[in-house]
């Protein structure tokens, strides 16, 4: 599942991630597309606070893709 | 409703009564150009010399090692440019922590940024590894202005000395609050952080450090005299203020964690400034939070205050890897009472809950 948050400022990408994570199976990977510079810090921080697994960041033509695995 | 409560001491504190009295007296007696050779000029000169001696004693420097500037930012800029101009043959490389003030980061073209841990404390081994043969200067903030974490200045000073690299310590948040760590080569501070007037910065440069001073116009004698009087008064009060404010910050750290869901209290809980604490609230927009708190009568700042004109998150919070949104920095001063803090602790959970409900994120 991919969440397109391009053009949307923080904390929107983290909010969308939090809303979506409960809709996928444990073990599934969510991708958040964001060009907000705060997402690079806040998505891993959210994963740490919420015990979800942050898999890393991949550059995309616009912004970056942040990968999160639902682990709880 | 009670008047607004200023909880942004880390930006500026109200003028200390001793500074106010000295300012008014010095406006009467210190208006002349102290470099001239007549009575009023000599009175201004005496005021300036007295202020210089007070600064020197307070900072652990010699009077002739002091340069007055228009701000703490200018002191940092002149410290950096003054050393780089004199050490060209060594190089132009500067080592600084990732959480130094944005004035340092902006003034450095060829720099290595040394990482910090989750609590915001710089990695001493990485700092040492970053020093090169062409390193002309090292910079370290004495304590983070955004999260309050004290830095290992003495350790860093020792390894800089061993490598012959001068160390510029940004002590803006520490002067008048905590003892200054020894070992600095240059030290920068700002009077309105301790209750002096705005518009006075000071740069101390140890004798023997190769340094090119910036050209200076006539000094603002009344403001410098007021800053010195404020500093002396604040130093006399600092032990008592530390004992009073430290538990209030502990109370904020504990209570916010208990009463605000999904909150991160950041910075070192122990090795920290006595008067400053920063928290981040998940899913909350920082600007909306500051505006809502302002409406409730509390002036606080966001950790991203220095860079609020950009969309970049606070470089300090980013370097620590902690949440950058929903961020509030609370910093206390001599006029802050326990009941101010208690009222803030009553208001904050309500304000955060209302903003979350409004944004539809209260059940996430």
CATH of the domain at A61: 3.30.110.40
| SS3 call for B331 | strand
Structural domain containing residue A9: 2-69
Residue ending a domain, among B171, B206, B234, is: B234
pLDDT band at B303 (very low <50, low <70, confident <90, very high): low
Q: Does B364 touch chain A (CB under 8 A)?
A: yes
Q: Are residues B299 and B189 in the same domain?
A: no
Whether the ω angle into residue A11 lies within 30 degrees of 0, i.e. cis, is yes
Q: Are residues B30 and B54 in the same domain?
A: yes
Q: Does A42 touch chain B (CB under 8 A)?
A: yes
Minimal-distance CA residue of chain B relative to A48: B322
Please provide the average confidence, as pLDDT, over all residues in chain B. 95
Assigned token pair, B207: 């004798």
Structural domain containing residue B260: 5-12+238-359
Domain count, chain B: 2
Assigned token pair, B8: 């942004």
Q: Are residues B299 and B261 in the same domain?
A: yes
Which ipTM did the prediction report? 0.94
Residue ending a domain, among B234, B250, B269, is: B234
pLDDT digits (tens, 9 = 90+) for A6-58: 999 889 999 999 999 999 999 999 999 999 999 999 999 999 999 999 999 99
Minimal-distance CA residue of chain B relative to A15: B283
Q: Does A46 touch chain B (CB under 8 A)?
A: yes
| C-alpha–C-alpha distance, residues A43 and A5, integer Å | 12
| C-alpha–C-alpha distance, residues B93 and B133, integer Å | 9
Average pLDDT over every residue of B142-165: 97
Q: Are residues B227 and B242 in the same domain?
A: no
A14 to B283: CB separation less than 8 angstroms, yes or no: yes
pLDDT band at B305 (very low <50, low <70, confident <90, very high): very low
Q: Are residues B217 and B75 in the same domain?
A: yes
How close A10 comes to chain B (CA, Å)?
7
| C-alpha–C-alpha distance, residues B84 and B89, integer Å | 9
Assigned token pair, A10: 């923080």
Q: Are residues B58 and B192 in the same domain?
A: yes
A44 to B321: CB separation less than 8 angstroms, yes or no: yes
Q: Are residues B130 and B41 in the same domain?
A: yes
How close B359 comes to chain A (CA, Å)?
10
Domain count, chain A: 1
**Catalytic residues of B, which ones?**
306
The dihedrals phi and psi of A53, each to the nearest 5 degrees, come to -95, 120
B264 to A45: CB separation less than 8 angstroms, yes or no: yes
| SS3 call for B178 | coil
Per-residue pLDDT at B3: 73
pLDDT digits (tens, 9 = 90+) for B51-70: 999 999 999 999 999 999 99
Minimal-distance CA residue of chain A relative to B310: A37
Alpha helices in chain B (DSSP H): 17-29, 39-59, 72-86, 102-107, 124-130, 153-163, 221-259, 286-295, 315-320, 338-359
Residue ending a domain, among B234, B266, B289, is: B234
Q: Are residues B275 and B192 in the same domain?
A: no
């Amino acid at each position: 599942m991919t969440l397109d948050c391009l053009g949307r400022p923080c904390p929107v990408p983290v909010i969308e991630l939090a809303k979506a994570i409960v809709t996928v199976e444990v073990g599934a990977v969510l991708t958040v597309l964001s060009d907000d510079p705060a997402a690079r810090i806040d998505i891993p921080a959210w994963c740490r606070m919420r015990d979800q697994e942050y898999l890393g960041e991949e550059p995309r033509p616009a912004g970056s893709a942040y990968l999160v695995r639902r682990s709880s | 409703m009670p008047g607004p409560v200023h909880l942004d001491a880390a930006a500026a504190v109200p003028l200390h009564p001793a500074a106010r009295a000295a300012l008014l007296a010095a406006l009467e007696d210190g208006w002349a150009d102290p470099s001239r050779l007549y009575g009023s000029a000599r009175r201004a000169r005496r005021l300036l010399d007295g202020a210089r001696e007070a600064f020197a004693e307070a900072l652990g420097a010699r009077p002739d090692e002091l340069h007055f500037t228009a701000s703490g930012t200018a002191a940092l800029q002149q410290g950096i440019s003054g050393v780089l101009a004199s050490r060209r043959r060594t190089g132009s490389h500067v080592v600084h922590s990732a959480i130094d003030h944005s004035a340092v980061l902006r003034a450095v073209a060829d720099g290595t940024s040394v990482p910090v841990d989750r609590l915001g404390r710089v990695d001493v081994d990485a700092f040492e590894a970053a020093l090169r043969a062409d390193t002309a200067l090292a910079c370290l903030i004495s304590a983070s202005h955004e999260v309050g974490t004290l830095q290992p200045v003495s350790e860093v000073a020792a390894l800089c000395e061993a490598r012959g690299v001068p160390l510029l310590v940004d002590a803006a948040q520490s002067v008048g609050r905590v003892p200054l760590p020894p070992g600095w080569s240059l030290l920068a501070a700002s009077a309105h952080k301790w209750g002096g007037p705005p518009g006075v910065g000071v740069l101390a440069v140890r004798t023997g450090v190769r340094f090119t001073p910036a050209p200076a116009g006539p000094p603002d004698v009344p403001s410098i005299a007021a800053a010195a009087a404020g500093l002396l008064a604040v130093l006399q009060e600092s032990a008592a203020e530390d004992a009073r404010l430290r538990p209030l910050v502990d109370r904020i750290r504990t209570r916010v964690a208990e009463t605000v869901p999904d909150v991160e209290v950041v910075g070192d809980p122990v090795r920290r400034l006595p008067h400053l604490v920063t928290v981040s609230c998940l899913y909350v927009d920082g600007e909306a939070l500051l505006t809502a708190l302002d409406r409730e009568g509390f002036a606080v700042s966001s950790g991203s205050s220095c860079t609020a004109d950009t969309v970049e998150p606070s470089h300090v919070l980013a370097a620590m890897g902690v949440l950058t949104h929903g961020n509030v920095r609370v910093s206390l001063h001599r006029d802050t009472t326990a009941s101010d803090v208690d009222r803030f602790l009553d208001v904050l959970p309500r304000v955060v809950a209302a903003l979350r409900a409004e944004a539809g994120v209260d059940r996430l």
